[in-house]
Amino acid sequence: MHNHFCKYAEKAVLNPIKDSTGKSVHIDVYPIGSNSLERKQVSQTLKMLKKKISHADSARSVSHRNGIVFDLLE
């Protein structure tokens, strides 16, 4: 499930989220356009996270997974 989330998110984060309520143009109102450097950096981070989770799953290592979480918190 985490792998699926990261795979989806690494592509979705590249574009602003549209507001389905019609109350604003975008939900993420930051002045950062599609495919900006900031969005690409977040996408790359999600891609690396997906890879780390995949390795932890392959090794079936709980401690490896916990290490990933603690790395993100730093």
For the chain, domain boundaries: 2-73
Q: Which pLDDT belongs to residue 71?
A: 65
For position 68, what pLDDT does the model report? Answer: 64
pTM metric for this prediction? 0.65
Distance in angstroms (rounded) separating the CA atoms of residues 57 and 20: 36
In a structure prediction context, what are the per-residue pLDDT tens digits for the chain, which is 74 residues long?
A: 677 788 889 998 898 877 777 777 656 666 678 888 988 999 999 998 888 888 777 777 666 666 665 566 55
